Amino acid sequence: MYDAFWADWYLPAALPALEKLFFSRIGAGAKVLDVCCGSGHVTQELVRRGYQVTGVDGSAALIEIARSKMPDVRFCVQDVQQLRIEDRFDAAISTFDSLNHVLSFEGVQRVFANVHEQLAPGGTFVFDMNLEQAYSQDLTQWHVTLNDDAVGLVRGHYDPVNKKAATELVWFTRQGETENWIRRKSIVEQRCYPEGEVLIALRATGFSHIEALMAEHAGMEPDLALGRIFFVATR
């Protein structure tokens, strides 16, 4: 469902922000670590722009999809809280609020420490996260996306006390050319971290020259900019 329905959603909206905060700063040919790369939506753009990319994600199924699209790119199945790659990178990037899926502050600190370790001195880390405003929208109604072979339904819930968000996903996929459909269901959790906590975690893990910029001010299109913040940090 993620690969089929969201392939053309995040990247087109985020490109102005990524141009400003990443592409204009990181020269072609640089070694880039795509953290929580999923099925490779942003990875493909990085490759197209001439970066030497390594993608890492905790989902073996999403990595399999990414490898099928980009067989010449190195991909690793790893939990980024235990990230270990025998290489050093000029830059790292994590997009589409992926790091909100890390459900504890200590976990976020571990991710930052691991990315810091993977970067060469002076390396740049660019990522975005959702703030509370993003979860405070009216997400309790079902949103439906469909094509000829799949139907996806999404709705969300946010608990402001525990700062936890849960996205309920139900999707149906057609079996080949038949009229038989397979139903699947999943709950995807995120946690909201205030900007101040993210800055504390970055500094505690050794990052410096930290910038924080709301997505709309970075040029991101409004539909995905609400409550989204970009961070840029240097090892």
Q: How many residues does the chain have?
A: 235
Residue 28 burial (10 A CB sphere; 0-12, 13-18, 19+):
exposed
pLDDT tens track for 189-224: 999 999 999 999 999 999 999 999 999 999 998 888
Overall fold of domain 2-131+193-234: Rossmann fold (3.40.50)
What's the pLDDT band for 178 if we cut at 50, 70, 90? confident
Domain limits, the chain: 2-131+193-234, 134-191
CB atoms within 10 A of CB 190: 23
pTM attached to this predicted model = 0.93
CATH superfamily of 134-191: S-adenosyl-L-methionine-dependent methyltransferases (2.20.25.110)
Q: Give the separation between CA 170 and CA 151, rounded to whole angstroms.
A: 8
Asked if residue 25 lies in contact with residue 123, where contact means CB atoms within 8 angstroms, the answer is no
